[in-house]
Amino acid sequence: MIRAIVTDIEGTTSDISFVHNVLFPYARERLAGFVREHQHEESIQTTLADLRREIDEPEADIERLTEVLFNFMDQDRKSTALKALQGLIWRDGYVNGDFTGHLYADVLPAFKAWRQQGAALYVYSSGSVNAQKLLFGYSDEGDVTSLFSGYFDTHVGAKRDVQSYRNIAAQIGKPTGELLFLSDIRQELDAAQQAGWHTVQLIRGDADTESVHHQVNRFDEITLEQFSS
Ligand SMILES: CSCCC(=O)C(=O)COP(=O)(O)O
Ligand SMILES: [Mg+2]
């Protein structure tokens, strides 16, 4: 039986175009100014030190780090430091009402049904935990964060690494056979499956004919009974 469901965000609960056409440009326009203005704050210094370590350039100055961050955004690189900064910048956009976190219409009813059936809900995204809480806290459907038991980001590891799913299972404290991972990306599901998890692939747009995972178009096509042994 499934005791916990861990969901991806981009392409799974939320439209990729919301992330790429709303969130990413909002952060991009403000990133240089944000780093310049906040560079002396302790938490930002820690993030910039993480970035220097990531690029193995211990002496990199603010101009160089900003250049690197722009390169990372161009590549959609899932850098933990970039993701931390994006999350901090997005806060203003949510709080000022510039945008709300997109949720597909089928997501919230399914979350509520699964909670009623006794499954705990978690999020795993490359976006920082802070960014995840903002998206669900200021979602199209209001603040839905009370549904979640926890959040995971790249501090547990990259989404295509098998070890990340072992780390998440250890933190949730349940055997992997009781865990279900939902994502649109085949390689993420492959990693979860190799760690012993159940998997379902969300196909919100183009078909993925190379996938071995059970595929659905909407959350209401997923029934937890289908995973009973
Ligand atoms: C928390 S919403 C923003 C998600 C994000 O920044 C991102 O890069 C999505 O990456 P993922 O690996 O979760 O598809
Ligand atoms: Mg995704």
Q: How confident is the model at residue 190 (pLDDT cuts 50, 70, 90)?
A: very high
* Ligand 1 atom index nearest CA of 134: 1
Q: Which fold has domain 4-15+102-227?
A: Rossmann fold (3.40.50)
pTM above 0.95, yes or no: yes
| Ligand 1 binding site (Cβ under 6 Å of any ligand atom) | 8-10, 19, 23, 78, 83, 86, 125-127, 131-132, 135, 159
Tens-place pLDDT, residues 65-114: 999 999 999 999 999 999 999 999 999 999 999 999 999 999 999 999 99
Tens-place pLDDT, residues 142-180: 999 999 999 999 999 999 999 999 999 999 999 999 999
Among 125, 159, 184, which is best to mutate for testing ligand 1, by the most ligand atoms less than 8 A from CB? 125
Question: Which residues have a Cβ under 8 Å from the Cβ of 132 and sit 6 or more positions away?
Answer: 9, 123, 125, 151, 153
Average pLDDT over residues 110-121: 98
* Ligand 1 atom index nearest CA of 86: 6
Do 205 and 16 meet the contact criterion of CB atoms below 8 Å apart? yes
pLDDT over 70 (residue 141): yes
pLDDT score at 229: 59
* Ligand 1 atom index nearest CA of 185: 14
Q: How confident is the model at residue 36 (pLDDT cuts 50, 70, 90)?
A: very high
What ipTM is given for this predicted complex? 0.97
Q: Domain-by-domain residue ranges, the chain?
A: 4-15+102-227, 19-95
Q: How confident is the model at residue 228 (pLDDT cuts 50, 70, 90)?
A: confident
Which of the four CATH numbers 1.10.720, 2.60.120, 3.30.460, 1.20.120 does domain 19-95 have?
Answer: 1.10.720
Question: Which residues have a Cβ under 8 Å from the Cβ of 225 and sit 6 or more positions away?
Answer: none
pLDDT over 90 (residue 54): yes
